[in-house]
Chains A and B, each alone.
Chain A
Amino acid sequence: MRSLAKRLMVEDPPGPKSPDAEITAAFPASDRLRPYLATLMGKGGFRALLLRALALASEDVLWLRAVQVRADGSVEGLEALPTPPDPIELLEGRVVLLAQLLGLLVAFIGPGLTSRLVGETWPHISPADLDFSHEGKNEKTK
């Protein structure tokens, strides 16, 4: 799952493509998924899912423990870190959080629906690259 998350981050970096998305610099990928998922599950539903993803991701990336999820589902707290993560660590944190979020979606709604949802969010990614059937949830990026 992490390699796919990394591909999503690297090959098609999130930009302000959705007018509804308030893109924050810290976690653009989850912000990009937010409008789609909030329509489906409500802001509260999305926040609950992201909180779980963050809790899981924090086990691997320690600095993520300092960030919080706002009521609207956006992530804050990166600026308050005593030592800001370097770009490599920042990318890893983003990738791990996105991977956990996608992993949760796969667990709840299955690989098929997750592929469709991610495909709509990242339309430039080939559908062949969005096969979640064989993605391992705990696969490491390093």
Chain B
Amino acid sequence: MSAAIDRMLDKRTAIRSGAVRSTAGPPVAATLLVCAVVVPAISGLSRANADDASVAAGPILFEGYPNAPEVFVVPRKDELFFYPCDQCHGAMEANPEIRKLDTAHHAEIDHGRGRIWCLSCHDLENRNFLKTLLDEPVDFDEAYIVCGGCHSSQHKDWVFGAHGKRVAAWQGERTQYNCAHCHDPHDPAIEARAPEPGPRARAGLELKTGTMHEASPVWGSHGTDSEK
């Protein structure tokens, strides 16, 4: 378990916990930034405070939360089987029409009960990026910007550590998992699974146990639901 975490920590990137800038200025570069310099948490829109010279000066995607801590995020791009997407889509024509896509190469969407489809999150012009609600490109390793566009309360909780999972240490550098690490963006609901075995009785004793009778709702004694 800890070996896996060590591997993860070696590959991690930093998020800018303050204002997040798009790493994709026009035109989009194919090179990706692997070692980011951490910008201390700032609030506000000041572009002058961006002291990461290697970041292209793109528009601000997300202003950040005040007093947010600095967080390192475990990257996911190398776990994506088809990435980089423009190996195929670079040559294909972009088709913005909302339609059902073949599932040989595309995921079936069970997210939002019909309110979103692929291009709600994927950037039509450049398949190596996702996009915000304002159609600005977002790196796959910063997918939380996209998720947080609709799921803002979870995003805020995640930034401050009340949602998602911090790995390895409870102190020092804070490393957390990306949203997509636990939630498949195309089918985010977590599947039910079998539980681990329950407790047993003390050695030599038989497990004959119970609690009081099942609780019935408090209104259960007032007659059935159908009675008015």
The answer to whether A and B come from one shared complex is no
